[in-house]
A and B are shown apart, each in its own frame.
Chain A
């Protein structure tokens, strides 16, 4: 079974499966990469692309299935194993040593040495120039400190680094996200050059247009399953979107249409820009009491930045926020809380919870004034408040003294919700509130939000799960590459249409003027 076959594919995956608590990230994925092809990996957020890449590059291990690399069994235990086997990943997030030179970063894993074992600077310099020339950075001195370079140059250096070892398979995860159109063109040309040299390239990008420009075949993933592998020439943007979304829409009964929002909006945003926003367009929208509005878009489209700016977690670059039509200034979380605005952050373990402290202390953390008198904690009041939230949110626990760490993801998220609900907010912002939460708790959280909205809470939900938003929300705002591209009312919800809005700014050829959708 292990005998290499002369005509073996570059990489062959059979039934690859990866299970996380409560989620099947990869569900029996079969995939064959030919030698010297550029293979696109497409899918929505959470479809399994990242999980697949992690397993290929040795950062994670599969629970089931087999991989064969050029006919031989392949099971990397570490990223180093993968590099030795000739598989190299250019990561979305750059991992560079800022204080070292370009040359040192490029050749970090195989620094040339002289016979005395000292660093061979001349050889290093020469080798670095060769690699830089490959990615079109001929005029960059190898001795330049990486900290002085911009994101695009770093990205190209990262790619050059992938070429420095004898890579047989190069995986590029969103390599063009930070590049200008000219740099992107150069990168695509480089990819073709690599392919012609017999290297297999796996290409992941939100920019569907790029896939058509450079890829030979495409594999679409959805919910951890492979949906299709097709020749690029035999498909279209529309078909790809349809494959990514799937046809089995609306598994969950939509909630009854809410009464049309009446009166002044609870929250109105005028001309908002967050730090680091792309493009010129500012963000404008309003949110009414009793309404659940979804903020849809791809990861990195600016959804998280928007809600964080509204809460004062990160500074606002420009814009005015109105609460009940009164202009308010929000520069710190304190300001938002004083206005009755709360935020359930994206990352509950790092930002939402104090994992090693008791559930009781986590629930009271944002309401310490209510459970204390002149600075002294009232243990009884605190316990009662915590118990009240535990009952209201049906948090499953043994005791409110338990550290939150011991709870399941869903129950941890309910503790975060309890912390905010104890403050009786008027505007609740939630960033990926059901990520890593099991199905049961997910349904409970949805029901809770609907109940709270019915009582007059204004809710804004960010989620990468479009179907979740369509089931839960009265209205959707769609963001694409830092631009609020449109708004969709419940009656017009259509998954493919919304998704193409989310891709709008990515698929459009660079430089074209922005058109306002919907």
Chain B
């Protein structure tokens, strides 16, 4: 057996992240050259604000995609979480602080519950999560509309609404929330038994089962985590918009999936990282912002984003092939 090049192997995940980081840096450099405002502090703050929600959703989505699943219900569930959280927020009997706390908990609980249903149905009956979450996409949207009779909720406490535009040393508070979820997700995936099994299940479910682990349970938990993250995202989104709308979040799941995929996580599961997801969300955000600044039309921007998603997956396939043939 030839001596394998371990150094290269060992840092393969790091290399993948570095590659995405380089792509992001390249994009930033190009836009900095093309637009004088791109690198100004206020524009950077803008980008961070814009990508925060997607980062939060994508962190949850990473868990689901790592086990080889997908969650298409994220946008609708987010609207459902928002209207429930908004209702709690407006309860007159609560003081402001506890209303905000309970609203956050309620949002996360609703999201986690939807995730539980998604995960349990797909794991227990072996139904592809694509289909189950497609059903949930409709169920949660309907539930959100039913809950408020299609009305939006507003007039939330000022302390709540102000959070959406607050900054700390120029960094938006909501981006700090997103970053702390990234950190939490990283810790769980890289430092816990649960995280180890998430990767293992995505790679070879049967081997994990035969090693004596409750595969079905772990898969369900991945969906619950995704749902809870959606709950957080819903509340954070409300602080920005200052309303809770049952028609919000349409298509958000696709942005989250795109961030995960551009971030190098394999759609078939088992390979990828949270850091990659963060970088993927940044690439999408920088593209959207930069293309506006250089004056590209809405329609063309959408096309460019589409191309980038396909390009990212094509590059991923190439990398996988190179890895296999080298082995």
Contact = CB atoms under 8 A, between A and B. Distances in A.
A333 B327 contact: no
Contacts of B209: 333
A369 B213 CA distance: 11
B208 A365 contact: yes
B203 A354 contact: yes
A20 B163 CA distance: 65
Contacts of B199: 357
B179 to A, nearest CB: 22
A354 B192 contact: no
Contacts of A357: 199-200, 203
Given A337-B212, A375-B194, A402 B203 contact: no
A334 B213 CA distance: 7
Contacts of A365: 200, 207-208, 211
B211 A402 contact: no
A135 B215 CA distance: 46
Interface stretch (B4-12, B88-96, B115-123): B4-12
A343 B207 CA distance: 11
Nearest to A367: B211
Interface string A438-478: 00000000000000000000000000000000000000000
B191 A376 contact: yes
Nearest to B323: A356
Contacts of B206: 350-351
A436 B144 CA distance: 57
Contacts of B196: 361, 368, 377
Nearest to A334: B212
Nearest to B214: A334
Query: Which interface class (under 10, 10 to 19, 20 to 34, 35 or more) fits A?
Result: 35 or more
A313 B212 contact: no
Interface string A343-369: 101000011111111000100011011
Given A377-B192, A401-B10, A402-B4, A419 B211 contact: yes
A377 B4 contact: no
A368 B197 contact: yes
Contact of A356 (B191, B210, B271): B271
B1 to A, nearest CB: 5
A199 to B, nearest CB: 42
A407 B6 CA distance: 12
B264 interface: no
A408 B211 CA distance: 22
A278 to B, nearest CB: 25
B327 A354 contact: no
Nearest to A368: B193
Nearest to A398: B6
B276 to A, nearest CB: 16
A398 B204 CA distance: 24
B193 A377 contact: yes
A360 to B, nearest CB: 10
A352 B206 CA distance: 8
Contacts of B300: none
B270 interface: yes
A78 interface: no
B169 interface: no
A333 B212 contact: yes
Contacts of A377: 191-193, 195-196
A406 B204 contact: no
Interface in B1-60: 1, 3-4, 6, 9-10
B210 A351 contact: yes
A346 B194 CA distance: 27
A129 interface: no
Where chain B touches its partner, the secondary structure class is helix
A345 B210 CA distance: 9
A396 interface: yes
Contacts of A361: 196, 200
A508 B327 CA distance: 48
Interface string B165-205: 00000000000000000000000000111111101100110
A372 interface: yes
Contacts of B9: 401-403, 406
Given A375-B193, A399-B10, A402-B9, A343 B3 contact: no
Contact of A405 (B6, B195, B327): B327
A366 B209 CA distance: 10
A356 B204 CA distance: 9
B10 A333 contact: no
Contacts of B194: 375
Nearest to A357: B203
Nearest to B266: A356
B1 A408 contact: yes
A351 B204 CA distance: 8
Contacts of A406: 4, 9, 327
Contacts of B197: 368
B200 A354 contact: yes
Interface in A118-141: none
A353 B204 contact: yes
B200 A403 contact: no
B32 to A, nearest CB: 38
A408 B212 CA distance: 26
Interface in A358-415: 361, 365-366, 368-369, 372, 375-377, 396, 398-399, 401-403, 405-408, 411
Interface in A259-303: none
Interface in B126-157: none
B6 A399 contact: yes
A419 to B, nearest CB: 7
A375 B189 CA distance: 12
B262 to A, nearest CB: 21
A69 B56 CA distance: 65
A343 B208 CA distance: 13
A398 B4 contact: yes
B104 to A, nearest CB: 24
Contacts of A376: 191-193
Contacts of A402: 4, 6, 9-10
Contacts of B193: 368-369, 372, 375-377
Nearest to B195: A377
A408 B197 CA distance: 25
A313 B192 contact: no
20 contacts: A311-B210, A333-B211, A333-B212, A334-B213, A350-B207, A351-B207, A352-B210, A353-B207, A354-B203, A356-B271, A366-B212, A372-B192, A375-B194, A377-B191, A399-B6, A402-B4, A403-B9, A405-B327, A406-B327, A411-B1
Given A352-B207, A354-B203, A401-B6, 8 more contacts: A311-B210, A334-B214, A357-B199, A368-B213, A372-B193, A377-B196, A406-B4, A406-B327
Interface of B: 1, 3-4, 6, 9-10, 191-197, 199-200, 203-204, 206-214, 270-271, 327
Closest 8 CB pairs of A and B: A366-B211, A337-B212, A398-B6, A354-B203, A365-B211, A354-B204, A399-B6, A334-B212
